[in-house]
Chains A and B, each alone.
Chain A
Amino acid sequence: MRAIEINGLEKTYTVGFLRKKERQALKPFQLAVESGEIFGYLGPNGAGKTTTLKILMGLIFPTAGSAKILDFDMWDMRVKAQIGFLPEQPYFYDYLTAGELLDYLAQLSGVPARDRKRKIDEMLARVGMSGAKNLQLRKFSKGMLQRVGIAQAIVHDPKIVFLDEPMSGLDPIGRREVADLIRGLKDEGKTVFFSTHILSDAEALCDRVAVIHEGMLRGVGVVADLVSRVQGKSEVIWQGQAALNSVTALGGECRISGDLVRAVIPEEKIDAALEVLRRSNARLISVNPIRSTLEDYFVEQIGGIARKEAAS
């Protein structure tokens, strides 16, 4: 069963008062997310990530198209009990304590009273906030709010968790903890759909990613495949600067760092470069093929379309 199936979702806003103009925030697109995967929804700020999430959460209405979540229409109330949502830069009732907030939201999700206390304690412990259970949210830092936000998204044990920029506002340790938490959700068999513009987070966590830019879905791919693509170049590292000019003459892009030289050399010139190094008695440290990163894919998707648009 697919966790999420988007069929031609589209959102157009009317802007302006006297001179009304239409602005297409989301162009029609198809997307399917499989159960149990961590799916990254990537795009720069203003790309349409939050708009997509808000449509799926029922906070805004699509102009056209539909979506299914766990095989139910997205407007079906039965879906809502099985999903959790962390909004971008979450803000919660600051007059409540963390415990009260989770209790209130768990009630709304239909968690029985007999289970609530245990679940709340478990969730707060899971996000490292047990000590703040009786503290009012107005005294929380941004990072603490983000953790409580994650706790409220999973307190009712949902099957799918939607996280909008879950790492924003967190320090490196906080980001690592959230990443571990997301992996933990996957281990429990949950589907995680999270939006981010931090590509390193997506590369480290996601099974698959989709790239969205200017409201248009640019591409979908398996992260493992995308980052294993060889670019036709290798990085050669050696000690000493004896062969520097000869390698540069072969088309190598050299950078000196201390007594080490790092050169990016086209695949077909590698043998010649190694021969030059051998003849110069340079001490070879390593030779590694250069693989694509998620950032390369991201830039490729966004840049590729921009080039096509410019050409047309």
Chain B
Amino acid sequence: MISRVSSIAFNTFREAVRDRVLYNLILFAVLISGSALLLGQISIEIERLFLINMGLTAISLFGVVIAIFIGIALVSKEIDKRTLYAILSRPVRRWEFILGKYLGLVGTLTVNAGLMAFGFFAALLYLSQRSYQGFQKADAHILVALYFILLQFVLITALALLFSSFSSPILSAVLSFALFVVGTFAEDIRAAAIMAGGTVGQMLKTIAYLVPNLGSLNVVASVAHGEPVSGALVWHNTLYVVLYSAAVILLAVLIFDRRNFK
């Protein structure tokens, strides 16, 4: 079972790695991080703040774009092009296929995030050396922010895969982006639910709990200001993402398990 899942995951990774569009996106994200150095020169004080904010946001946004665009085609492309037939006629269970595809894309995104983070840290090192400050202790928090960005990718990938298991790529992209946007404001929706009260408040509360809480995974602003991230938040977010993604993948498996591939 493990070897089949890992074979599918590796093939998914290989497919993404051989896609040139991916490299363009990564390069673009690294260039944005680099350009922050030029823009930040307006004021020496804000240069570092600007670089961290812009660099991490670029990594997050480009990663989400990659997660959605590869994720939405993960399953639907296999069905449309009938490549799935050669897989499912072998001793591969449908859930193994879904899990393999998911892990392959998460692996791809981890490597991408690593490459983009490398570019970002190179820019930060350049800035640190220029200002004779070197890496600061507070910069360690950036790693936590990067970890949270990775958790965000894990969640978005699961959602894109879920939509891909039953709808067309375009509809999957729309639904994934919509959930990404709504999820980013999940905490604001909760606040609005409390203020609204009554039936509307209850509805908003339900929506806020159903959509992924991506807001709590965004600590870019506080990290840029050198504020620490609590260990409790790290554990809470990790547990939340693992459970939420597992539930979404389970739902994708349940849908995929019942599909007829006409």
Contact = CB atoms under 8 A, between A and B. Distances in A.
A61 B94 CA distance: 13
B18 A95 contact: yes
A-B pairs with lowest CB-CB distance, top 4:
A85-B89, A80-B91, A60-B260, A87-B85
A152 to B, nearest CB: 6
Contacts, number: 78
A60 B262 contact: yes
B216 interface: no
Contact of A57 (B4, B19, B83, B88): B88
A280 interface: no
A108 B93 CA distance: 11
B15 A58 contact: no
Interface in B1-37: 3-4, 7-8, 11, 14-15, 18-19
Contacts of B86: 85, 87, 90, 92, 105, 152
B18 A107 contact: no
Interface string B195-230: 000000000000000000000000000000000000
B85 A95 contact: no
Contacts of B3: 107
B261 A60 contact: yes
Contacts of A109: 90-91
Interface in B67-116: 81-93
A59 B85 contact: yes
Given A90-B82, A93-B83, A105-B86, A81 B11 contact: no
A108 B85 contact: no
B92 A59 contact: no
Interface string A77-97: 110110111010111110110
Interface residues of B, number: 26
A155 B85 CA distance: 16
Given A92-B83, A95-B18, A107 B89 contact: no
Contacts of B8: 108
Interface in A50-77: 54, 57-61, 77
Interface of A: 13, 54, 57-61, 77-78, 80-81, 83-85, 87, 89-93, 95-96, 104-105, 107-110, 152, 156, 162
B261 A95 contact: no
Nearest to A103: B7
B53 to A, nearest CB: 36
Contact of B261 (A13, A54, A96): A54
B227 to A, nearest CB: 44
Nearest to B15: A95
Given A61-B260, A77-B91, A85-B89, A108 B15 contact: no
A152 B258 CA distance: 26
Nearest to A149: B86
A85 B91 contact: no
Nearest to A110: B91
B176 to A, nearest CB: 23
A89 B82 CA distance: 9
B75 to A, nearest CB: 14
7 contacts: A60-B260, A61-B258, A87-B86, A89-B82, A95-B19, A105-B86, A162-B89
Nearest to B97: A108
Contacts of A83: 89
Given A60-B260, A61-B260, A104 B18 contact: no
Contacts of A77: 91, 93
